[in-house]
Amino acid sequence: MNVLLYSKERNIDNWKYLEICINELHNKKIKIWFLKDFYQKINNQINPDIKCKVISKLNNDFEIDFLISFGGDGTMLSAAKLIKGYNIPMIGVNTGRLGFLANVAKNNIKKLIFDLENKNFNVSQRSLIDIRIKPRLKNEENYFALNELSICGENNTMINIKAYLNGEYLNNYWGDGLIISTPTGSTGYSLSCGGPIIMPDTNNFIITPIASHNLNVRPLIISDQNEVKLELDNRFETFKLSIDGLPYDITNKHIIFIKKSKSFINLLITKENNYLHTLRNKLLWGLDKRNS
C-alpha cells in the first residue's frame, strides 16, 4: 500500500499527529510518500530510520493508493487541487476546527490506518464545478471548485448580479453577493447564508444569495446539467471572487460561466464516519434533552 501524506498546517503542535501517522505506517511497512515542498518543512522531525518517497509533483506513473490530509477543510480543498485528474482517493484527519470534509478525529489515526488496510471504507464520488472567466484572469481562464464560488462587492457594498441558466435570464440578485455551491459545499458558506444541506450524491447546484435585498429571493436548487452565467453590476468597477476560499479580483467586464466538471474527487469515508454521522456530530443533531 502507498500513502501520500499532505498538509499545509503551520501549527507545529499539530504535527505530532502527523508523526503518529508516519510511525504507524512505517511499523506496518506501508510505503510513505511526500511532496517535496511539504517534506522540506518536516524532514527534521522524521525519524531518519523511516524511509519515504519524495516527489516534486504528482504524475500518472506513481501508484499512490490514498492521500491522507492533516488540517481542516481548507487543507482538504487544497489537496483536491493536487489530486484532480489522478483518481487518488483522499481522507482528512481533522487538526483544524469544524471539519466536514476532514472528519477523522486526530486521536483515531491508528484506527484510520487499520481501516485502510482492511478496506473498511466507502468511496464517495464528489462532483466539481468548472469555472470559466472571460476575459481571462492572469492568463488563466479555467478554474474548478469542490465546495463553491462566491462573489461579493468591495467594502461590503450592495451589488447586483444577473444570473442566466443555459442562456435564459433567471434573476437579478441584489444584496451582498451570491454563492454557487456543489452538494459537498452545501455544508459550507452556503449553509451559513441560509442555504439547504443536500446529500453529496445528488446531481445539483445551489444558488444562494448573500443577505438578499429582496426578501422573496431564496436559495435555489438546480440540476447540475445547467450552465450558469453571471454578469456583474456596471455601477461598480471591482468585485471579490472566491473559489474554494482562494480570492481573486474581478471587474464588471468579466463574465463567469459555471458548469459541472467532467472530473470528480474521490473522498474516502470510513464506515464509522459516514455522512449522516458527520452531520449529527458536527451540527449536534439529536442532542436535545427531550430525546434523553
Sign, CA torsion 32/35/38/43 = positive
Among candidate residues 230, 182, 184, 174, the one with its CA nearest the CA of residue 241: 230
Per the annotation, the verdict on 73 as an active-site residue is yes
Cell of 139: 492568463
All cell numbers assigned to 87: 483518481
Question: How many Cα atoms occupy the beta-carbon half-sphere of 18 within 13 Å?
Answer: 29
CA–CA separation, 291 and 116 (whole Å): 35
455522512: which residue's cell?
A: 275
> Residue 20's Cα: distance from chain center in Å?
25
The answer to whether the beta carbons of residues 161 and 178 sit under 8 Å apart is yes
Q: Which of 13, 37, 73, 115 is catalytic?
A: 73
* Residues classed as catalytic: 73
